[in-house]
Amino acid sequence: MCSSDLSPKLELKGAPAVILVCGLQGSGKTTTCGKLATLIEKQGKRPALVACDVYRPAAVTQLVTVGGQAGVPVYEHGTDMDPVEIARRGIQHFLYRRPGVTRLLVVIALFLLWEASARWLVDPMFLSPPSKVFSSLGAVFNTRGVPVALQVTFYELAIAFVLSVVIGMVVGLAVGLSKFSHRSFMPIILLLYGTPQITILPLFILYFGIGPPSKIAFGVSHGIFPIIVTVVAGVQNIKPILMTAARSMGASRWQVFRWVIFPHMIPSFFAGMRLGMTGVLIGVLLAKLYVSTAGIGYFTTLFTQNFDPTKLLGLISILAAMAIVLNEIVRRAEVHFGRWRTD
């Protein structure tokens, strides 16, 4: 069992970073391209392959096959074009298909639709255009009590999310690794997961009061179950022979977890974290709307009762920014721990 990460790391520069692989026939160019793409993908990048070998028979077909096995997209334009032109078109093809560009275009389109609807279709008393909303963010921050309320809300979200991840992972591993625990507790977990949490919010207020602990606990109740369920699913998808082989080689419990269990449960674990983060956000904000007398819930109600959609949407935009920050933290963690994955 290795105790350190010995896999090489490529220093890629430029956007996009282009690697030219050339060599004699039979030197292993196609196989090397597939291995390079897999290595780059494990480093959190989005690799793609362009088939430019127009001289060797079946070279394009082989690269398409290797790309399919590695799960990497391949651009090919046959063998009747200059390789330099194929490379240029391939780079442009993948640049236009970048997820970041697509997301940006979708966001711009939604904002334009929002702007047009607010100006010409909907009464401004009910919907303010985004240009007015963003220009009013300063007024929202200058509202007495809002900065402190936002700071407290962010701390509550962060604490509830961390608790959900830790507790959810521990419980998920305990239930997933034991057949007895799975048979005994999984039905109860699924029952609680399916119960509308808003119906038991009064119990959280009764047990934890109307302060931050009740909001944090209610947020945890929303975020913990998706993590438990996905961790259990990830653990049970591990082939038993892998853990048996690790133990037969003298691996400790920590080594089995580090090198077998955790790498194989990474995809489901981080999917659960994203679902749990959404649940935590919903839980904390619901609790604040229900019992808050001076926090975000109070200001949301105040702006609504005053028919001030500009400040209300500005406050919602700030809360959305908090969610984006937490999502980015999860994404970076997924990229970092993704290097532990084994195929």
Q: What does the pLDDT look like over 248-295, one tens digit per residue? A: 888 888 888 888 888 888 888 888 898 898 899 889 888 888 877 667
Give the chain's domain count: 2
- Whether 15 maps to a domain, the answer reads no
For the chain, what is the total number of helices (H) and then of strands (E)? 15, 2
- Can you read off the two tokens belonging to residue 79? 């063998």
Shared domain for 308 and 174, answered yes or no, is yes
The model's pLDDT over 56-78, given as tens digits with 9 standing for 90+, comes to: 778 888 888 888 888 888 888 88
Going by pLDDT thresholds of 50, 70 and 90, the confidence category of residue 5 is very low
What mean pLDDT, rounded, does the chain reach?
A: 84
Q: Is the predicted pLDDT of residue 194 greater than 50, yes or no? A: yes
253 and 313 inside one domain: yes
Q: Provide the β-strand partners of residue 79.
A: 77
Q: Do both 165 and 303 map to the same domain?
A: yes
Domain co-membership, 221 together with 331: yes
Do 164 and 298 lie in one domain? The reply is yes
Q: Which residue segment(s) compose the domain that 153 sits in?
A: 130-340
296 falls within a domain: yes
β-pair partners for 106: none
Identify each DSSP E strand in 55-184 by its residue range.
Answer: 74-76
Q: Are residues 326 and 206 in the same domain?
A: yes
pTM score: 0.69
Residues 275 and 137 occupy one common structural domain: yes
3-class DSSP state of 50: strand
Reply yes or no on whether the pLDDT at 342 is more than 70.
no
Is there a single domain that holds both residue 71 and residue 207?
no
Q: Do 153 and 297 belong to one domain? A: yes
Mean pLDDT, rounded, for 111-115:
89
> Which of 251, 233, 232 lies closest to 242, judged by CA?
251
Gap between the Cα atoms of 65 and 72, Å rounded: 10
